[in-house]
Structure 1
Amino acid sequence: MATPDPSPNRKPFPILHVVWLLLLAAAFGAGWALWSGRVRIPEAWNPWAPLRIDATPNLLTRFKLDRAAGDRAACQVALAQADMRLTPVDDRVTGEHCGFTNAVRIQRTSVAVGSDFTLSCRTALSLAMWERHVLQQAAQEHLGTRVARIEHLGSYACRNLYGEQGRRRSQHATADALDIAGFVLDDGRRVRVLKDWRSALAGTTPTSAAPASSVATDEATKDAPDLDEARFLRAVHEGACDYFDVVLGPDYNRAHADHFHFDRGAYRACR
């Protein structure tokens, strides 16, 4: 006669629970080993290693960029690697919800920029990453040369979002945005967003959030002998989405028919 189970209501400990506990312990141990430096991994794949502007981008690049951008000192250290001529700017309040902190005045990036402009450190860092890993590669691939100058429309401005009647400020109001109208190449060619974007490449039409002048519309739709400039502009626009939070262009609305808007902010959009 079989001996009855003294605890008939007790269930065996599920093996799955044991597996999960072991996995959690292993993950905790691995994380502690990496954090403490007991285990060495390549800097490129170490999430706690500082951002390097010249490092080949990988799955951790955006994490490192955002981590550096969120810390005043870390951002300054990372930006010091950039091929930029700049001057730190004192923190400043210029109006209601306007002003900037941890900003720099940029006289030149890796290319000429025309007039100086002010950007927050985090936005300047994104600009440096975009120039290093997107801009020049796109120029070489699609145009066979390099970019010599960026033609911008400005950065800091104490204003609301376009068409915003309330108090919602633009990222320009905190020096977290830059508008780019075009590029001048090493061989002297000039590529402009207004003339060379060609919405027809993507089969899209800008929305009518802002009026477009007849002159601008006529110039933007002129025929040209090739589409290399359009492909270049699309490459630098799409590539910017890896380093900025909001990237807007002519396909977004008519207010952006003649420029790209790049910013660091609270939400993400690539249009």
Structure 2
Amino acid sequence: MACRVLPFAVVTALILALAGCSNYERPRRPAWRGQAENACIAQQLIRVSAYVQPAREIDGPSICGLTRPFKVSALLDGAVRFNMVSTLDCPMIATLNAWLTEVVQPAAQSRFGQPVVQVNSMGAYSCRSMNNQYGGRISEHAFGNAVDIGGFVLADGREILIVRDWTRGDDQVRAFLQDVHAGACGQFTTVLGPGSNIFHYNHIHLDLAMHGNTSTGPRRICRPQLRPSATPEPPRDNLPNPPDIDEDVDVAHAGSPGNEPVALHAGPGPAPTGRIPDSFFAAAARGPTAVRAYAPVVPPEPVRGSLREDGAFVPEGNPADWDLTSSIPRR
């Protein structure tokens, strides 16, 4: 009897196990990710080019992947290249373009007088957890919705590295990195730079994760909290700076001891010194000087005449009236 029951029990257990497998469903990516990709493409926020090429869908492992990924070798239509080809989604590419246009390039021109021509990426799409920590939450890198920036290259070839220049660069370099980090906080929803934690000592992490909404828009995480540094004034063509003059002070009185009026001088020769002569004010008080009248000038009457066949002009009337040679005594 036991021999008959045992095979039946084994078959039953096998059937139940197979039924359980058929009910297993692999985790799916949140719907908003695919919706964001499709909306970005529908709105034509990026343009397919030699630098931005569509790639095949990445589906897995697990929930990692992108519905419509792109292989990116450069941004801003090739004006700013990547040091490596990066796999990103459409919203991330569009936001990187906006960040470069509105923040990075103006800061580079202000600090160095030249643009950025390369962004050094330390990673884009990668199916991994946050900070590569075992058992951690899934990273935005796993959806092509993040990029790690390790530095920049200027037009003259100068390289700016975050790991070196964040704290040890000169004043202009550190101010530039502070500007691009602070400006990124208005473009991306997550910005993590050196000082945010031990994992971001050598790069700035940028992503478009959804952290919820606030009364003023999407919730943003920006660490460390930095303010854009003061932008230096552009050079004045090697001319001296103008004097500091209060707007409510008349130029004629500025810098004069005791607010005494001084004479303005714009002509050749030495400038007058001291007070304006009292005779000047006395003459002004007397009013305008009378203007001498002159008889009107009467224009001469036009000379009438005709043209000869040889083209010479012959005045009308007696030749003695117009031929000057007729008054010369003949010899």
Matched, 1:102 2:83: no
Aligned-partner SS, 2:52: strand
Q: Structure 1 residues 118 and 257, CA, compared in 2 at 3 Å: closer, same or farther?
A: same
- The partner residue of 2:117 within 140, 143, 148 is 148
Which of 1 and 2 has greater Rg? 2
TM-aligned CA distance change 1:158 to 1:141, over 3 Å: same
Using the size of structure 1 for normalisation, the TM-score is 0.61
Q: Distance in 2 between matches of 1:194 and 1:89?
A: 32
Q: How does 1:45-64 map to 2 (within 5 A)?
A: none
CA 1:242 to 1:191, structure 2 compared with 1: closer, same or farther past 3 Å? same
- Tell me which residue corresponds to 2:105: 136
Aligned length, in residue pairs: 179
Letter in 1 for 2:56: D
SS at match of 1:115: strand
Unaligned ranges ≥5, structure 1: 1-65, 199-221
User: For 2:196 and 2:154, how far apart are their aligned partners in 1?
Assistant: 26
Q: Does 1:240 align with 2:192?
A: no
Question: Contact (CA 8 Å) 1:87, 1:106: kept in 2 or not?
Answer: yes
Q: CA deviation at 1:84?
A: 7.6
Q: Does 1:269 align with 2:221?
A: yes
Q: Give per-residue Cα distances to partners, 1:68-107, cap 9 Å, x unaligned.
A: x836144354333598821112222131121112221102
Q: Do the aligned partners of 2:189 and 2:221 also contact (CA within 8 Å) in 1? A: yes
Displacement of 1:147 after TM fit? 0.4
Distance 2:37 2:157 in 1: 39
Please tell me whether the aligned partners of residues 58 and 69 of structure 2 are also in contact (alpha carbons under 8 angstroms): no
Q: Is residue 2:35 matched to residue 1:91?
A: no
Question: Cα offset for 1:241?
Answer: 1.2
Q: Hey, what's the Cα distance between the residues in 1 that align with 2:100 and 2:128?
A: 27
CA root-mean-square deviation: 2.2
Contact kept in structure 1, 2:46 and 2:90, CA below 8 Å? no
Q: Letter of the aligned partner of 1:135 in structure 2? A: V
Structure-to-structure mapping, 1:1-271, within 5 angstroms = 70=36, 72-80=38-46, 85-110=51-76, 111-162=80-131, 164-166=133-135, 168-198=137-167, 222=168, 224=169, 226-267=170-211, 268-271=220-223
**Sequence identity percentage:** 34
2:254 maps to: none
Letter in 1 for 2:184: A
Secondary structure in structure 2 of the residue aligned to 1:156: coil
CA 71–261 in structure 1, closer or farther in 2 if over 3 Å, else same? closer
CA separation of 1:248/1:106 partners in 2, compared to 1, >3 Å: closer, same or farther? same
CA distance in 2, matches of 1:84, 1:248: 31
Contact kept, 8 Å, 2:37 with 2:68, in 1: the verdict is no
SS at 2:103 equivalent: helix
The CA distance in 2 between the partners of 1:137 and 1:84, in whole Å, is 25
| Cα distance in structure 2, aligned partners of 1:81 and 1:174 | 20
Change (3 A) 1:167 1:250: closer
Provide the rounded CA distance (Å) in 2 between the counterparts of 1:135 and 1:76.
Answer: 27
Output the CA distance in 1 between the equivalents of 2:41 and 2:188.
Answer: 15
Contact 1:78 1:125 in 2 (8 A): no
2: CA distance, partners of 1:119 / 1:163: 19
Q: Which has the higher contact order (CA 8 A, sep 6+)?
A: 1
Q: Please say if residues 245 and 263 of structure 1, whose CA atoms lie closer than 8 Å, have aligned partners that are also in contact.
A: yes
